Amino acid sequence: MNEGWQIPTIAVAVDLVVLTVRSEMLQVLLVERGVEPYQGRLALPGGFLSSEHEDIDSAASRELSEETGLDAGRLHLEQLGAYGAPDRDPRQRVLTVAYLAIVPNLPEPIAGGDARSAQWTPVTKLGRRRNALAFDHSRILADGVERARHRMEYTTLATAFCPAHFTIADLRRVYEIVWGETLDPRNFHRKVKGVADFLVPTGEMTSKHGGRPAALFRRGTAEILHPAILRGGAN
Amino acid sequence: MNEGWQIPTIAVAVDLVVLTVRSEMLQVLLVERGVEPYQGRLALPGGFLSSEHEDIDSAASRELSEETGLDAGRLHLEQLGAYGAPDRDPRQRVLTVAYLAIVPNLPEPIAGGDARSAQWTPVTKLGRRRNALAFDHSRILADGVERARHRMEYTTLATAFCPAHFTIADLRRVYEIVWGETLDPRNFHRKVKGVADFLVPTGEMTSKHGGRPAALFRRGTAEILHPAILRGGAN
DNA sequence: CCAAAAGTGTTCAGACTACACCCATGG
DNA sequence: CCATGGGTGTAGTCTGAACACTTTTGG
């Protein structure tokens, strides 16, 4: 490190891939850009650090709260990585640190903190077009979705999509929708109940649907799934 | 994004977790710091972006070439993530993007590009002490090691530790040393030969050791292991 | 011939799949 | 009483762990 020369400094931003399951689809929270560049285009929510001293994790947590109106401390939030191509922002050099957030199905309107209108958009609607979103956000979104799909195989991440109390069928639908596969309800049921500390029965029952009432569960203390629930080849 | 205010800019660095297997141990490339802060302490190799316009991936690749003297294009190099705690560098705010590099056992001296003396150090020697390295580099190293261990389960990353031609026993020793487990040689042999496009026989044989000569292989085109080689419970 | 390492075959236990079957509700 | 979804049982198959055994070298 030749400390004698001038160290270049660049702007640092934080962007969020906020995923949820709504209307039987995997959806992502997007905002419409109000200013150039990419004015009018959809983009991931995010922003620059609010001060020279703000921690990047804190900035992500703050943005998540602002956009969803929820307490970020209770939601799943993990870093995806840094995206630092020199030309990714035409104005000036901006390095962004992307985060993946998983939230349960929210009441409906997001009611963002600032004027931007945040909206849920099905991931499949965006297709695989590389320029569906502003900047390199299509790439970041793809990385986030793949991370979520992968994590669900061997961690309890899927429960982050569910409300506090949920049925095993709810959990299975999360897997099916995020993975885009159908799973055998019977085998899935047995499998998740066999994983220690994954699900804790609340004792309550649902009565909504036309069938037999289902038992309600809440997340257990487990973080790692043993054995894993693997994609490809129905479970 | 309220673009009307002053956007804070901060210095961006790149740090490398360069791992190899030497002398039957997992070792990491470290440099001794010549200047404050942490003068005389061991740290991960790395440095600031060389210019305002250098890509972060290119910067990592450049640092790797400088430190190892090898063509980074042939080595495994992947991003670990961004580390941006505001107080991680006492001088000024520095956000670092950490990269994981896996290299085969090198001839011996590293012969770094600049004056710093790079040296291989067994990861176990550093223990789990949080302050064995300068800055937050102990944490970054731990994350890098865990990433490497995890990737070896379901990708062909282990071959990156091996020279161009290697035996199945060489590959198994990589797994054993990185994971700190012993694997059954017979089952391991059958398992890796069963994965399509993982290993390509060269037709050559070794004759070094006291036992039966082993066939030599080189990496195949596969990147993903199907089925995976899982830790915990001997294979 | 013996030690050592490579490589193959076989057995047993546990996990996954597929599907038959029963349970509990609403209409 | 039938449709719908929840939940359990079970047989066949597949995978992985353990280990006996053969092969091929060096000393």
Q: What is the CATH number of the domain that holds B130?
A: 3.90.79.10
Predicted local distance difference test score (pLDDT) of residue A234: 41
Please answer whether residues A109 and B37 qualify as being in contact, where contact means their C-beta atoms are separated by less than 8 angstroms: no
Mean pLDDT to the nearest integer, B159-169: 96
Out of B52, B56, B86, name the one closest to residue A8 (CB): B52
B233 touches strand D (CB under 7 A): yes
- Across the interface, whether the CB atoms of B10 and A12 are under 8 A apart is answered yes
* Antiparallel, parallel or unpaired: β B9-22 and B94-102: parallel
Predicted local distance difference test score (pLDDT) of residue A73: 83
Regarding whether A23 and A58 lie in a shared domain, the answer is yes
Please, what is the average pLDDT of chain B? 90
Confidence band, pLDDT 50/70/90 cuts, at residue B115: very low
B10 touches chain A (CB under 8 A): yes
- Across the interface, whether the CB atoms of A79 and B81 are under 8 A apart is answered yes
Cα pseudo-dihedral B166, B167, B169, B174, rounded to 10: 20
Regarding whether B166 and B88 lie in a shared domain, the answer is no
Chain D nucleotides covered by protein, CB below 7 Å: 3-10, 15-21, 23-27
Check whether B222 has a pLDDT greater than 60.
Answer: yes
B32 touches chain A (CB under 8 A): no
Please count the other Cβ atoms lying within 10 Å of the Cβ belonging to residue B20: 20
A230 is a domain residue: no
Check whether A2 has a pLDDT greater than 70.
Answer: no
Backbone angles phi, psi at B222, to 5 degrees: -65, 145
The rounded distance, in Å, linking the Cα atoms of B180 and B234 is: 11
Out of A51, A81, A84, name the one closest to residue B8 (CB): A51
The rounded distance, in Å, linking the Cα atoms of B175 and B116 is: 31
Please count the other Cβ atoms lying within 10 Å of the Cβ belonging to residue A139: 15
Which residues touch A2 (CB under 8 Å, ≥6 apart)?
B114
- Across the interface, whether the CB atoms of A53 and B86 are under 8 A apart is answered yes
Query: Å between A86 CA and D11 C1'?
Result: 60
Regarding whether A120 and A30 lie in a shared domain, the answer is yes
Backbone angles phi, psi at B219, to 5 degrees: -60, 140
Regarding whether B96 and B162 lie in a shared domain, the answer is no
Chain C nucleotides covered by protein, CB below 7 Å: 3-9, 15-21, 23-27
Check whether A110 has a pLDDT greater than 80.
Answer: no
What would the pLDDT profile of B63-95 be if each residue is shown by its tens digit? 999 988 888 888 999 999 999 999 999 999 999
Regarding whether A119 and A61 lie in a shared domain, the answer is yes
Q: Longest C-alpha distance within chain B, in Å?
A: 73
Q: Which helix (H) or strand (E) holds A120?
A: strand A118-122
Predicted local distance difference test score (pLDDT) of residue A127: 76
Regarding whether B178 and B135 lie in a shared domain, the answer is no
Predicted local distance difference test score (pLDDT) of residue B69: 85
Q: Which residue has the higher pLDDT, B112 or A73?
A: A73
The rounded distance, in Å, linking the Cα atoms of A134 and A211 is: 45
B234 touches strand D (CB under 7 A): yes
Interface test with B, best of A31, A38, A49 (most B CBs within 10 A): A49
Confidence band, pLDDT 50/70/90 cuts, at residue B163: very high
Backbone angles phi, psi at A109, to 5 degrees: -80, 145
Mean pLDDT to the nearest integer, A91-98: 96
Please, what is the average pLDDT of chain A? 91
The rounded distance, in Å, linking the Cα atoms of A169 and B167 is: 48
Out of A1, A56, A84, name the one closest to residue B84 (CB): A56
Predicted local distance difference test score (pLDDT) of residue A128: 77
The rounded distance, in Å, linking the Cα atoms of B166 and B214 is: 9
Predicted local distance difference test score (pLDDT) of residue B127: 76
Regarding whether B163 and B137 lie in a shared domain, the answer is no
- Give the residue whose CA sits closest to D20 at C1': B186
Confidence band, pLDDT 50/70/90 cuts, at residue B205: very high
Regarding whether B133 and B36 lie in a shared domain, the answer is yes
What would the pLDDT profile of A4-30 be if each residue is shown by its tens digit? 578 999 999 999 999 999 999 999 999
B233 is a domain residue: no
Check whether B114 has a pLDDT greater than 60.
Answer: no
Predicted local distance difference test score (pLDDT) of residue B107: 66
Regarding whether B146 and B126 lie in a shared domain, the answer is yes
Identify the three-state secondary structure at position A135: coil
Q: Which of A106, A124, A108, A116 is nearest to A161 (CA)?
A: A106
Regarding whether A20 and A120 lie in a shared domain, the answer is yes
Query: Å between A211 CA and C23 C1'?
Result: 10
- Distance (Å) from the C-alpha of residue B214 to the closest C-alpha of chain A? 35
- Give the residue whose CA sits closest to C4 at C1': B211
Q: Which of B73, B20, B105, B75 is nearest to B219 (CA)?
A: B75
Query: Å between A197 CA and D11 C1'?
Result: 29
Exposed e or buried b for every residue in A196-214, given b needs 16+ CB within 10 A?
A: eebbeeeeeebeeeeeeeb
Predicted local distance difference test score (pLDDT) of residue A129: 82
- The reply to whether omega before B213 is within 30° of 0 (cis) is no
Question: Which residues surround strand C, with CB < 7 Å?
Answer: A 184, 186-187, 191, 205, 207, 210-213, 227-228, 233-235; B 167-169, 185-187, 189-190, 193, 209-215
Regarding whether B161 and B144 lie in a shared domain, the answer is no
Check whether B50 has a pLDDT greater than 60.
Answer: yes
Identify the three-state secondary structure at position B151: helix
Check whether A111 has a pLDDT greater than 70.
Answer: no
B33 is a domain residue: yes
- Across the interface, whether the CB atoms of B2 and A49 are under 8 A apart is answered no
Residue B146: what residue type?
A: E
Question: Structural domain of residue B182, as residue ranges?
Answer: 157-219
User: What is the number of structural domains in chain B?
Assistant: 2
Query: Å between B189 CA and D19 C1'?
Result: 15
